[in-house]
């Protein structure tokens, strides 16, 4: 039995599980909805029933003796109108203050140069997991702040929200000025460059969560989206954007990456990793229509204060593209440089040509590189050590390794430099 047949069984099993779950989930939600709504509807029915008759009990979802007396009594009391005004004022004022202060704090904590960033972030994150409790909060409001009989008891304790500073499904880092390294729930990284006039996003990840929303939490500038290559862990997030740019050599890869098989694989991995989607989100992910990529112009993007040069970098795939940020001396190499580089797919470049590509990129005067599968910046000296280790002697010392789910591939693993691994197709050694 071949590998495709073996892989087909788990996929069929997952599809069957996904078809059973919505039915069970729908029935459970209907039951929960009834349990939740019945007390509310019963209360409404009692409110429209004659008060004296209601004391007898036995009222279900419809009043037994219809009467508006209860509502006449309530609305004849002026205190109800005062309560309405407090509710409206609380909603408007609390929302405005919370949005303004939370946004200001979130921006300050996103700045790498802010010296208290780590301390304040840690202090706020602790409040998400540790709560003082009811009695200490009461004492704080009653005795310390003296707000127990004040309208501001609704406003001051909720002026800031740590939860609202979190972009759902993403971890956002600010390793350099104007640079945001965004990690999604399955550990793919996207890099956002923010200039004075425009912004540029490099890669879009798996696309499970709303990446556009996360980007807009950082900047509202006009945005260009550039894809390093066409593999699914870099392009599925394109669903959130109207236009993306991609090398013409990668158009076929992009089309394959958008297939239902790849989406099912991502959803299965999300389940394994505990990244839970609602049934509606799962359905939307399975059915979305991706934008058709525009050919990537081989030019420099002028973002205003940042010039981003497009640098063809064939290796991991034949049409892979890197970006170089001139003012920051920052290289975005795509999957050509990672703690673990994969060089065994059919669309790869041969080992010798990959090594030549990596030597060529050293002509760029970059000081650091940001990789799509690593949080930390790579220093130039580390990249140089990696390139120096791309030799025939290193390749010949590689040992066999199996990479799920690509078990049919004859792959080898070597370590060109400390902290790096290269996994390649064994055929390339004999060819090169």
pLDDT digits (tens, 9 = 90+) for 220-240: 899 999 999 999 999 999 999
Please give the radius of gyration of the chain, using alpha carbons only, rounded to the nearest integer: 29
d(CA 370, CA 193): 12
Q: Alpha helices of 274-379 — where are they, by DSSP H?
A: 279-287, 351-361
3-state DSSP assignment of residue 46: helix
The phi, psi pair for 421, rounded to 5°, reads -130, 145
Nearest Cα neighbor of 229 from 259, 194, 192, 256 is 256
Ranked by mean pLDDT, the top range of 101-105, 175-179, 368-372 is: 368-372
Cβ–Cβ < 8 Å for 237, 217: no
Cβ–Cβ < 8 Å for 403, 343: no
Nearest Cα neighbor of 241 from 289, 312, 305, 303 is 289
DSSP notation for 77-103: STHHHHHHHHHHHHHHHHHHHHHHHHH
Band (pLDDT 50/70/90 cuts) for residue 378 is very high
- Structure tokens that stand for 365 in this block: 């005067």
Band (pLDDT 50/70/90 cuts) for residue 7 is very low
DSSP notation for 214-282: HHHTT--S-EEEE-S---HHHHGGGGG-S--EE-GGGHHHHHHHTSHHHHHHHHHHHHHHT----HHHH
Residue 335, classified by CB atoms within 10 Å of its CB into exposed (0-12), middle (13-18) or buried (19+), is buried
Q: What is the mean pLDDT of residues 292-307?
A: 93
- Average pLDDT over the chain reads 87
3-state DSSP assignment of residue 413: strand
d(CA 302, CA 400): 45
3-state DSSP assignment of residue 180: strand
Angle, CA of 358, 416 and 340, to the nearest 5°: 80
- Structure tokens that stand for 36 in this block: 């939740």
pLDDT for the residue 12: 53
Band (pLDDT 50/70/90 cuts) for residue 291 is very high
Neighbour count for residue 102 (Cβ, 10 Å): 17
Residue 257 has pLDDT above 60, yes or no: yes
Band (pLDDT 50/70/90 cuts) for residue 167 is low
Cβ–Cβ < 8 Å for 395, 425: no
Residue 254, classified by CB atoms within 10 Å of its CB into exposed (0-12), middle (13-18) or buried (19+), is buried
pLDDT in tens, 13-48: 555 555 677 788 889 999 999 899 989 998 898 889
Cβ–Cβ < 8 Å for 215, 328: no
Beta strands in 150-222 (DSSP E): 170-176, 179-184, 189-194, 199-202
d(CA 12, CA 31): 29
332: DSSP letter: E
Q: What is the mean pLDDT of residues 183-204?
A: 95
Instruction: Measure CA of the first residue to CA of the last residue in the chain; give whole Å.
Output: 32
Cβ–Cβ < 8 Å for 322, 313: yes
d(CA 237, CA 250): 16
Model pTM above 0.85: no
pLDDT for the residue 247: 96
d(CA 303, CA 322): 17
pLDDT for the residue 275: 78
Beta pairing, strands 378-379 & 368-369 = antiparallel
**Which superfamily does 170-431 belong to?**
Ribonuclease Z/Hydroxyacylglutathione hydrolase-like (3.60.15.10)
Residue 138, classified by CB atoms within 10 Å of its CB into exposed (0-12), middle (13-18) or buried (19+), is exposed
- Structure tokens that stand for 370 in this block: 């940001």
pLDDT for the residue 49: 87
Residues 6+ apart with CB under 8 A from 209: 168, 169, 170, 184, 185
pLDDT for the residue 208: 94
Give me the count of residues in the chain. 432
Residue 45, classified by CB atoms within 10 Å of its CB into exposed (0-12), middle (13-18) or buried (19+), is middle
DSSP notation for 110-121: H-TT-TTHHHHH
Neighbour count for residue 42 (Cβ, 10 Å): 14
Nearest Cα neighbor of 342 from 224, 422, 223 is 422
* β-bridge mates for residue 232, sequence order: none
pLDDT for the residue 5: 45
Beta pairing, strands 179-184 & 307-312 = unpaired
In terms of pLDDT, which residue wins out, 156 or 193? 193
């Amino acid at each position: 039995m071949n590998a495709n047949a073996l892989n087909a069984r788990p996929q069929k099993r997952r599809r069957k599980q996904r078809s059973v779950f919505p039915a069970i989930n729908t029935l459970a939600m209907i039951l929960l909805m009834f349990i939740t709504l019945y007390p509310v509807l019963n209360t409404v029915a009692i409110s429209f029933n004659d008060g004296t008759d209601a004391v007898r009990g036995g009222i279900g979802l419809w009043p037994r003796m219809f009467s508006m007396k209860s509502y006449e009594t309530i609305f004849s009391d002026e205190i109800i109108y005062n309560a309405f005004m407090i509710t409206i004022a609380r909603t408007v004022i609390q929302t405005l203050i919370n949005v303004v202060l939370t946004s200001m704090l979130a921006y300050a904590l996103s700045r790498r140069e802010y010296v208290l960033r780590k301390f304040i972030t840690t202090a706020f994150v602790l409040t998400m997991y540790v709560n003082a409790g009811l009695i200490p909060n009461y004492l704080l409001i009653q005795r310390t702040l003296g707000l127990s009989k004040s309208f501001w008891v609704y406003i001051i304790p909720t002026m800031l929200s740590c939860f609202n500073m979190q972009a759902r499904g993403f971890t956002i880092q600010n390793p350099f000025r104007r640079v945001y390294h965004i990690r999604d729930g399955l550990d793919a990284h996207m890099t956002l460059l923010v200039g004075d006039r425009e912004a540029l996003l490099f890669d879009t990840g798996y696309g499970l969560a709303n990446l556009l929303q996360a980007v807009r939490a950082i900047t509202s500038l006009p945005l260009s989206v550039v894809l390093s290559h066409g593999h699914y862990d870099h392009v599925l997030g394109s669903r959130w954007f109207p236009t993306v740019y991609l090398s013409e050599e990668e158009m076929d890869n992009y089309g394959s990456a958008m297939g239902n098989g790849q989406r099912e694989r991502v959803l299965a991995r999300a389940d394994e990793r505990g990244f839970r989607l609602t049934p509606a989100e799962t359905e939307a992910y399975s059915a979305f229509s991706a934008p058709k990529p525009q050919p990537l112009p081989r030019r420099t993007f002028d973002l205003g204060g940042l010039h981003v040069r497009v640098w063809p970098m064939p290796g991991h795939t034949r049409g892979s593209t890197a970006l170089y940020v001139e003012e920051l001396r920052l290289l975005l190499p795509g999957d050509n440089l990672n703690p673990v580089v994969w060089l065994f797919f059919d669309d790869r470049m041969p080992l010798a040509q990959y090594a030549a590509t990596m030597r060529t990129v050293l002509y760029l005067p970059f000081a650091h590189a940001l990789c799509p599968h690593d949080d930390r910046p790579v220093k130039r000296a580390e990249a140089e050590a990696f390139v120096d280790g791309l030799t025939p002697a290193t390749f010949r010392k590689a040992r066999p390794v199996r990479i799920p789910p690509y078990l049919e591939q004859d792959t080898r693993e070597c370590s060109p430099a400390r902290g790096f691994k290269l996994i390649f197709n064994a055929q390339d050694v004999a060819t090169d």
